[in-house]
């Protein structure tokens, strides 16, 4: 394996791991916002506890996902300086907007939401979690704008050996973006729904005393999975015509073709299973009462994540050997003078760090799920200060 292949492999591994965090963030954020809105509107304590429980899982995933994103930033500067030199004026603009506007705003609103329990007015507190959701989706939008430019460099012309942006509107209406963005967002909802569904099934299988809590959560997970899988598949098929028009032969390679087949198989089977099996079982809460089904619901949780990684491979590997399609090859985009030893070392370091973060994320989420809603720190009222001891001489 030469240095170019090593650098590509490094980005594939770290990018794929980071994408898993992003997917769950996009899926859980609106669900937590909906739960909180129901609590603020109706005052049902059950909705408050659901908001805090699933919100804590969201916060765990978000916090660790930040660090995986930082690794991605390091890679651009370390391995792909040719991309920055040739297309940085165009490619860097949406990334800068995502960092300065979407990411910082998202973190700010999330901080207000986390520490705003029992401090902010209810309406303002709910507005914070909705703003977290909107800015998370705005972040996804700008990332997909940048990625779509690599797939189809619309709105840019070459001038002086570099790409220069001439039409910002073309960048935002890139045909590689129009259907890809809702496809990714829908995949996030599908993944978030499966996580809620699987975690709820775990507690119901163990005959939890919190039966109503997890029955309602299970129903929400099924409905979210249905909506997410429906639109994921729909927008996925809608992209075929667009891709054929801007990247002919994208699916001809062994890796894109195999990944595409895996993605379509999981997508179709998952959609049919949710639509024709799980949705009908919501009648009379059969899905919560049939205990033998719950291990199956736990086992299928990884499927939307596997499908998402397969889709990512199709999108990225399918445009090889180009980094900016038709304009800049992967080999020319690499930093000059990189040695195989240097790339191998950074590959091991980055993959090790992200792999550890992914493991920690899984363990923390699994522990939070196992503990259940009875042991949630998020949103707990402040403990009153202990009274000061009375000096002995004053007695």
% pLDDT > 90, the chain = 71
User: In this predicted structure, what is the pLDDT of residue 19?
Assistant: 92
Count of C-beta atoms within a 10 Å radius of residue 359? 10
The DSSP bridge partners found for residue 190 are none
Mean pLDDT to the nearest integer, 18-25: 94
Residue 388 clears pLDDT 60, i.e. is over it: no
User: In this predicted structure, what is the pLDDT of residue 274?
Assistant: 92
Nearest residue to 72 via CA among 354, 338, 305: 354
Give the whole-angstrom CA distance, residue 237 versus residue 112: 39
Nearest residue to 202 via CA among 278, 279, 303, 291: 291
Residue 383 clears pLDDT 70, i.e. is over it: no
Q: What is the mean pLDDT of the chain?
A: 91
Mean pLDDT to the nearest integer, 105-124: 94
Mean pLDDT to the nearest integer, 358-368: 95
User: In this predicted structure, what is the pLDDT of residue 249?
Assistant: 85
3-state secondary structure of 239: helix
| pTM exceeding 0.75 | yes
Mean pLDDT to the nearest integer, 233-256: 89
User: In this predicted structure, what is the pLDDT of residue 213?
Assistant: 97
In a 13 Å sphere around the CA of 142, the CA atoms on its Cβ side amount to 19
User: In this predicted structure, what is the pLDDT of residue 194?
Assistant: 97
Confidence of residue 387 (pLDDT cuts 50, 70, 90): low
In a 13 Å sphere around the CA of 161, the CA atoms on its Cβ side amount to 3
Residue 330 clears pLDDT 90, i.e. is over it: yes
Give the whole-angstrom CA distance, residue 160 versus residue 212: 65
Q: Which of the two residues, 298 and 385, has the higher pLDDT score?
A: 298
The full set of domain ranges for the chain reads 179-318
Count of C-beta atoms within a 10 Å radius of residue 378? 19
User: In this predicted structure, what is the pLDDT of residue 393?
Assistant: 55
Nearest residue to 324 via CA among 72, 73, 156: 156
Residue 188 clears pLDDT 70, i.e. is over it: yes
Confidence of residue 78 (pLDDT cuts 50, 70, 90): confident
* Residue 127 token pair: 């507005």
């Amino acid at each position: 394996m030469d240095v170019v292949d090593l650098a590509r492999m490094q980005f594939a591994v770290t990018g794929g791991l980071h994408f898993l965090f992003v997917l769950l963030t996009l899926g859980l954020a609106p669900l937590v916002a909906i739960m909180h809105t129901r609590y603020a509107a109706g005052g049902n304590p059950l909705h408050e506890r659901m908001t805090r429980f699933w919100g804590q899982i969201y916060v765990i995933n978000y916090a660790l996902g930040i660090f995986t994103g930082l690794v991605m930033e390091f890679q651009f500067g370390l391995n792909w300086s040719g991309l920055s030199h040739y297309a940085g004026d165009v490619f860097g603009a949406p990334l800068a907007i995502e960092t300065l506007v979407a990411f910082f705003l998202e973190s700010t609103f999330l901080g207000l939401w986390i520490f705003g329990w029992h401090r902010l007015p209810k309406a303002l507190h709910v507005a914070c979690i909705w703003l977290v959701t909107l800015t998370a989706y705005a972040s996804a939008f700008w990332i997909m704008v940048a990625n779509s430019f690599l797939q189809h460099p619309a709105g840019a012309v070459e001038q002086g050996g570099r790409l220069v942006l001439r039409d910002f509107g073309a960048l935002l209406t890139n045909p590689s973006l129009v259907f890809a963005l809702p496809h990714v967002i829908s995949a996030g909802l599908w993944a978030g729904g499966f996580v809620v569904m699987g975690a709820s099934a775990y507690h119901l299988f163990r005959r939890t005393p919190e039966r109503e809590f997890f029955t309602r959560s299970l129903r929400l997970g099924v409905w979210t999975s249905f909506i997410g899988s429906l639109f994921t598949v729909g927008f996925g098929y809608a992209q075929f015509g667009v891709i054929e028009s801007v990247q002919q032969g994208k699916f001809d390679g062994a890796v894109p073709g195999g990944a595409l087949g895996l993605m379509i198989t999981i997508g179709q089977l998952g959609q049919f299973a949710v639509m024709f099996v799980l949705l009908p079982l919501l009648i009379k809460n059969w899905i919560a009462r049939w205990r033998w089904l719950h291990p199956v619901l736990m086992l299928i949780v990884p499927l939307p994540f596997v499908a998402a990684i397969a889709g990512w491979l199709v999108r990225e590997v399918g445009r090889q050997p180009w980094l900016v399609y038709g304009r800049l090859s992967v080999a020319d985009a690499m930093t000059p003078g990189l040695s195989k030893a240097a790339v191998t070392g950074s590959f091991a370091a980055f993959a090790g760090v992200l792999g550890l973060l992914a493991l920690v994320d899984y363990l923390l989420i699994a522990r939070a799920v196992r503990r259940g809603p009875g042991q949630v720190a998020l949103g707990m009222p402040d403990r009153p200060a202990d009274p000061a001891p009375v000096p002995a001489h004053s007695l």
